[in-house]
Amino acid sequence: MSDIKTENMWLMKGDCLERMKEIPIGSVEMVLTDPPYELSKSKGGGMMSGGRKFMQQVRDAGMIDGINTGSFLDACLAMFSHKQKFCGVFTCSNKQVIEYISWAESNGFKYGIGVWQKTNPAPLCNCKYLNDVEYWIYIKGKKSKILGNYSTKSMVFTSSINKKDKAEFNHPTCKPVDLMEKFIINHSVDESVIFDPFMGSGTTGVAAKNLNRKFIGIEMDDKYFEIAKNRIMSA
């Protein structure tokens, strides 16, 4: 299975930390991604069979406790033409929030933490709170601007889990396209290059294409790479 490269899109198959080395410095203007992180160690937390299968894939890739946040962010930063042009939005677990903040502060970057509030979270069968929010964080250098408008700048995004997309694309952590569009509007302009090193089923790529942005995505799983390719190209 080979890469797909056009004037407006570059879909890369493989390990992101290795393939990122091939992307020319200065060719990325925004990182927008949903990295793998520990979804659940509970056997009774309401995770569906598809989610358990996905977690096995994460374990097989050596990422059961998530990515090495600092090393990953350093690799992202290295792709920007200037340190202070860095711009990234990342979903993360509550445990990882402090890691992102620590990295941002060590580099002198501004940051903000928001949530995606789910109106239809999965029911739980144990003694825990509902998993009805996911965290996201933006990190930016001094030369990166926050754009958008009043309707896109809320730090709380409320929507239902798109069960149709999750079922159609067979990915348990499929994010809403309009959530990714909000981030893209807030942090980029027409024809900016949006980079997703954990492409998954291609949601970020679809959002980028919808908003007339260029897109670079990396995915190591053969099945999801094919799903993302077909989904983005037909958007």
Calculate the average pLDDT of the chain: 85
User: In this prediction, what percent of the chain has a pLDDT beyond 90?
Assistant: 66
One-letter amino acid at 49 equals S
3-state secondary structure of 156: strand
Q: What span, in angstroms and rounded, lies between the C-alpha atoms of 153 and 176?
A: 16
Mean pLDDT within 29-42? 73
User: Binning pLDDT at 50, 70 and 90, where does residue 164 land?
Assistant: low
pLDDT digits (tens, 9 = 90+) for 106-130: 999 999 999 999 988 877 767 778 8
User: Binning pLDDT at 50, 70 and 90, where does residue 167 land?
Assistant: low
Q: Which residues contact 24 (CB under 8 A, 6 or more apart)?
A: none
User: Binning pLDDT at 50, 70 and 90, where does residue 1 land?
Assistant: low
- Domain ranges across the chain: 32-195
Sign of the Cα torsion 186, 191, 197, 200 reads: positive
Domain 32-195, CATH homologous superfamily name and number: Vaccinia Virus protein VP39 (3.40.50.150)
What's the whole-model pTM score?
0.86
Q: Are strands 133-140 and 87-92 parallel, antiparallel or unpaired?
A: antiparallel
Q: Which residues contact 102 (CB under 8 A, 6 or more apart)?
A: none
